[in-house]
Amino acid sequence: MVDRTLFAGSRPGLLERPLTMLLLAAGIAIWLLLRPETLQALPLAWRVPLIGFGVWALGMAFARPLTLGVGRGWLWRQARASWSRLTLWGFALVIVVLEVRA
């Protein structure tokens, strides 16, 4: 049985908790739905990799709470990897910088 819950991840830091990651991913997704021009202003050569990066980051953030109870498999290993959580924070930082710049 896995002893992790939605409120307490494997590390004690607030930025590592699954609920924090889920709320950040939901906020980014809603922001991009309301203001798609944030990414549309970029040239295609930058937009396509950034969209792929965002899909990965948001997908892993949404999948992580679902995989906590399973505790095995490829998706579980990817969702709990530290670089997977860093991609979400990196994507959020890029979105904020693009929005401030615009």
Tell me the pTM: 0.75
pLDDT, tens digit (0-9, with 9 covering 90-100), for 9-35: 455 465 567 788 889 999 999 999 999
Q: What is the 3-state secondary structure (H, E, C) of 31-92?
A: HHHHCCHHHHCCCHHHHHHHHHHHHHHHHHHHHHHHHCCCCCCHHHHHHHCHHHHHHHHHHH
pLDDT, tens digit (0-9, with 9 covering 90-100), for 33-67: 999 998 888 899 999 999 999 999 888 888 887 77
Instruction: Report how far residue 95's alpha carbon sits from residue 98's, in angstroms, rounded to the nearest whole number.
Output: 5
- pLDDT for 3 equals 46
Q: What is the CA radius of gyration of the chain?
A: 14
Q: Which residue has the higher pLDDT, 40 or 68?
A: 40
Confidence of residue 94 (pLDDT cuts 50, 70, 90): very high
